[in-house]
Structure 1
């Protein structure tokens, strides 16, 4: 019996004697019958995969086309979360929510209009004065203390060479079109910026009005057993974002006001415009104040070496005071984020999303810390 079993095991398999036109006996399957099914499944999988790739590319194109709209919506939500703590503070003082929203938004629009009314005439006036008095400006620049101070190190011939180069460039008719196109592009950019700011303000008002209903609808997507914890964490996150926005605006306002006072005292050119630049730059964490200080110091240096040096010394002192005194007192109450994580979040956000990414990176980091402390750690401790 063992010999017969081994012999049967070594015998070759019988050939398939089924003719092409015949069918296999009932209860048996032919190897050839599975090939079409495998072919159809492979084609189906490949076709569905190709459709998925095309859909992903299509969605990517749509997101790219709507990037500006997405930016407006994200900025409006960010500002609405920043204004909500002020509205809540007025509500706790016995004021209805709609009244508090109207007051806060009226103040925001008033500040926005006041800034435009003050800054735009200064910019237009400076540009008009520069165009009308260009020869006098060049002559005064050649005879300025800054040119004499630089010429004492590198010689004065570079001034004449630079002026001659600029004059020959302006005298070339082919460059007038480039210059005009650049001016039109700047004008279009300013008009687009004002339009975008108006859209963001309108969206901010809508989001601020419907913020509570948005939170309720978001909670409906969570199971009822976890809804209370979701609402608690969501309120902590929105509160952290709002406090961060208010803290950053406070830092910018402090820098802007102090810059206006000091630049007016030292006689800097267009101190209101330079103070506004300091305010805007201070809104960007970490590198914003330094960037504004460099820009303002260079403008003051072009007007007078003494003014430039005075501005540079002031901003060196101010940055130390802001880093070690003002910022810790304001931001530690706003968001409890470790210093190393602040640096990492700001750098990563600026790399991925530019200025807006740097602005939202720190509140996102604070939100993640809240989620870890209130969701992840309790689950790990209960396991």
Structure 2
């Protein structure tokens, strides 16, 4: 090989590597935007069967989309009006209880107990330093290390909550756009495929999108069932936060595999802390029974009709998706597995059989 030719090959190879690095960096910078768009498309495909149902009953598409949006916003507003006042009332009661405890001298008793239990620490000096730091203009810099870590955690939690709310708003706006323009987007995508292969591509794509819609509907029904039954059960046992716990059960149950058990354990522990063991025991027994009912009756009936994916593949897909992309990955992993299974069945295997 000539030196000049080797130099050109090396130069082109180096430029290719640099271009690949630049593209990877750009994708990394816009990764959050791509995740938002992917989640919005996923939700739009999940809601599209409802829009199609309305259009089959002589609704114009714009009116069908508007009707679905109004129903979603109305349901969200109703949940906020029910859940938020209950949380505010409980938080206000907690603050009032803390103030009453301090006025009753509980702080002095706690200080005496801490000093007797951990005699090596000067608790009074730490409290004085903290109070002095809070009055200092440069408050955060002069806080004790222990309190500084707590403040950092609080600031991080507030920032994460704000980022989550902002992300949810962006996903909702993008979902509305995709819902309204889904037919035109699909038409444009289909025209990119060669005409000879277009009918097969359209058929497989429509089946994949239908599977996504059925999966989202199935997960929503599972969450709704858990939320309604949880509200009825918690209202019977007398929990004051029955609506809050039911909403938590509904949200968690939309997450495949781990959602229901996570909500069950969390709600049982919260009831134990806030309402006592006499209320927590029937709640724990109920969730132990309900998890078996959902795992062996509800979920197979709904999911088998939705995606028709073997149980082992469902578990592996959900675990893999959750590891890679968190909750969003766990949600989309099962429809992705169904899509891969359909492509293998309709495209890869027939080609292999034809060889």
TM range (shorter): 0.7 to 0.9
Report deviation, 1:237.
Answer: 0.4
Q: How does 1:237-276 map to 2 (within 5 A)?
A: 237-276=208-247
Residue from 290, 293, 296 that aligns with 2:261: 290
- Superposition map of 1:82-97 within 5 A: 82-97=46-61
Q: Cα–Cα, structure 1 residues 312 and 107, in superposed 2: closer, same or farther, change >3 Å?
A: same
Q: Residue 210 of structure 2 aligns to a residue in which SS?
A: helix
Q: Which residue of 1 aligns with 2:16?
A: 52
What is the aligned partner in structure 2 of residue 126 from structure 1?
90
> How far apart, in 2, do the equivalents of 1:61 and 1:129 lie?
49
Mapped to 2, the partners of 1:110 and 1:317 lie a distance apart of: 32
CA distance in structure 1 between the aligned counterparts of 2:333 and 2:321, rounded to whole angstroms: 5
User: Superposition RMSD on alpha carbons, in Å?
Assistant: 2.8
Contact 2:115 2:123 in 1 (8 A): no
The answer for unaligned runs of 5 or more in structure 1 is 1-33, 143-159
Structure 1 131/59 Cα, relative in aligned 2: closer, same or farther at 3 Å?
A: farther
Alignment of 1:178-257 (within 5 A): 178-257=149-228
Give a deviation string over 1:321-364, Cα, whole Å, max 9, x none. 11111112222221111111111111111122211111101000
After superposing the two structures, state which structure 1 stretch, 355-364 or 39-48, moved more.
Answer: 39-48
C-alpha distance 119-179 of structure 1, shift in aligned 2 (>3 A): farther
Larger radius of gyration: 1
Q: 2:114, 2:123 within 8 Å by CA — same for their partners in 1? A: no
Aligned-partner Cα distance in 2 for 1:118–1:66:
37
Paired position in structure 2 for 1:30? none
Query: How far off its partner does 1:128 sit?
Result: 3.8
How many residues end up aligned between the 2 structures? 329
User: 1: CA distance between counterparts of 2:195 and 2:333?
Assistant: 31
Judged with a 3 Å threshold, the aligned counterparts in structure 2 of structure 1 residues 121 and 62 are, in CA distance, closer, same or farther, namely farther
Answer yes or no: is the 8 Å Cα contact 1:259–1:278 preserved in 2. Answer: yes
Against the structure 1 CA distance between its residues 263 and 380, is the aligned structure 2 distance closer, same or farther, given a 3 Å change threshold? same
Equivalence for 2:327: 355
TM-score (norm 2): 0.84
Structure 1, residues 215-237: CA drift from partner, whole Å, max 9, x if none? 11111121111101111111000
Say which is worse superposed, 205-214 or 56-65, in terms of deviation. 56-65
